[in-house]
Homo-oligomer: A and B are copies of this chain.
Amino acid sequence: MKASFLRFKLILLHRDIKNMADSNQIRIFTESVFQAIGCSEEHAKLAADVLISADLNGVDSHGVARLAGYVRLSDHGRLNPKPQIKIIHETPGTATVDGDKGLGLVVAPFAMKVAIEKAKNVGTGWVAVQNSNHFGIAGYHSSHALAEDMIGWAMTNAAPLVVPTFSKEKLLGTNPISVAIPAATEPAFLADFATTAVAYGKLEILQRKNEPLPIGWAQDENGDPTTYNNAVKEGGGLLPLGGDREHGSHKGYGLGAVVDILSGVLSGANFGPWVPPFATAGFHGVAEELVGKGTGHFLGAMRIDAFQPADVFKENMDRWIKRFRAAPAVEGQVVQIPGDQERNFRKERLENGIPLNDKVIESLEELGKRFGIKL
């Protein structure tokens, strides 16, 4: 079995760029790992597609770097590889979905399909999801509305890493929100962001480099601003978007709270400090007290032509996008449209491969060894 991993390493080095992986080969490997933990072929392909999309879009923290984490969720009995995902409550325009402890990576696409069907019937569709877990990048799910000439929404809560304004305690997850909006000839508008000043992955990069954080990203255990890159692990917390009160942190806190309430309270999932953690390497179980089922999401689809003719809207979106792109930029920069960064990464990585750091490669090698999967 050793031989296959040498081959894997060789492929990674294939293009003479250190640790560059071909997205198709990583995709096949990822599908095989999901099948190895009991997922159906259909679910494995879908879950892999969500992870590879993150890697292609440049969101390295949400791609195959998390594959070992999903396997650990399974090892700890927190994942049902063959979930019976079902609607447990509905109206013509809404539904509540029970994810049956399935991969968030497949539960969220199920819920998004329901939202799109509801929108076809009554104009918009909104689905709250309980009993799920990490769903990957929010933008993957919101984007599914685009091909239907709909505006897509996706959000999720997550385990607490973030301090509300003036709190010393972490009570909210990074709680991302994504909105995808179609255009005509221009590429789609895609906002997809954590409701914090920065994603936790950016702190991890500085931890690896042993460099200090900029002020405004995190606070220490006393609630004071800090540059210490391990502060969040040691009693501190990530700051909401805005940073401090003077710069609007109460707005980032409010937005993260809305995401938590729609994803958690409205769905019947856990919320606030009770949201169970993703299975990180040091993970040993969920909190003793729970207030709901698993992690929660909230997904929505709004049919454009429920408001005005889709072609008129999309032409005006082109106009919006072109006008914003044409704004004079500060020296050395360009004014981007939300979604441009992801598209730029995708173009480059489809061509040149996905860069993987040593730790990620090591985790993939371990998974391959454990399940006997060749690359």
Are A91 and B306 neighbours in the complex by a CB distance under 8 Å?
yes
Which B residues lie within 8 Å of A194 (CB)? 251
CA of A331 to CA of B168, assembled, Å: 10
Q: Tell me which of B123, B254, B313 contacts A265 (CB under 8 A).
A: B313
Which B residues lie within 8 Å of A223 (CB)? 329-331
Which B residues lie within 8 Å of A331 (CB)? 223
Are A169 and B328 neighbours in the complex by a CB distance under 8 Å?
yes
CA of A261 to CA of B180, assembled, Å: 11
Are A168 and B328 neighbours in the complex by a CB distance under 8 Å?
yes
If the complex has contacts A93-B92, A271-B316, A330-B223, are A126 and B124 also in contact, measured as CB distance less than 8 A?
yes
Are B181 and A261 neighbours in the complex by a CB distance under 8 Å?
yes
A13 within 8 A of partner (CB) = no
Which B residues lie within 8 Å of A151 (CB)? 262, 266
A210 to chain B minimum Cβ distance, whole angstroms, is: 19
A10 within 8 A of partner (CB) = no
A31 to chain B minimum Cβ distance, whole angstroms, is: 32
Are A336 and B94 neighbours in the complex by a CB distance under 8 Å?
no
Stretch at the interface among A1-9, A101-109, A240-248, A346-354: A240-248
A96 within 8 A of partner (CB) = yes
If the complex has contacts A166-B333, A248-B197, are A171 and B324 also in contact, measured as CB distance less than 8 A?
yes
Are B307 and A128 neighbours in the complex by a CB distance under 8 Å?
yes
Are B248 and A320 neighbours in the complex by a CB distance under 8 Å?
no
Measured CB to CB, the nearest residue on chain B to A91 is: B123
CA of A124 to CA of B95, assembled, Å: 11
CA of A166 to CA of B331, assembled, Å: 9
A67 to chain B minimum Cβ distance, whole angstroms, is: 27
Are A248 and B257 neighbours in the complex by a CB distance under 8 Å?
no
Are B320 and A179 neighbours in the complex by a CB distance under 8 Å?
no
A287 within 8 A of partner (CB) = no
If the complex has contacts A122-B91, A308-B96, are A191 and B265 also in contact, measured as CB distance less than 8 A?
no
Interface residues of A in 298-312 (CB under 8 A from B): 302-304, 306-308, 312
CA of A329 to CA of B324, assembled, Å: 41
Interface residues of A in 12-49 (CB under 8 A from B): none
Stretch at the interface among A58-66, A214-222, A362-370: A214-222
Which B residues lie within 8 Å of A169 (CB)? 327-328
CA of A246 to CA of B252, assembled, Å: 15
Are B89 and A307 neighbours in the complex by a CB distance under 8 Å?
yes
Which B residues lie within 8 Å of A320 (CB)? 260-261, 265, 271-272
Which B residues lie within 8 Å of A333 (CB)? 166
Are B168 and A246 neighbours in the complex by a CB distance under 8 Å?
no
CA of A86 to CA of B334, assembled, Å: 41
A276 within 8 A of partner (CB) = no
A317 within 8 A of partner (CB) = yes
Are A124 and B93 neighbours in the complex by a CB distance under 8 Å?
yes
CA of A196 to CA of B328, assembled, Å: 20
Measured CB to CB, the nearest residue on chain B to A292 is: B316
A198 within 8 A of partner (CB) = yes
Are A216 and B92 neighbours in the complex by a CB distance under 8 Å?
no
A11 within 8 A of partner (CB) = no
Are A250 and B91 neighbours in the complex by a CB distance under 8 Å?
no
11 A–B pairs (Cβ distance < 8 Å), ordered by A: A91-B122, A92-B93, A93-B124, A165-B335, A167-B328, A167-B329, A196-B248, A216-B246, A242-B242, A265-B317, A271-B320
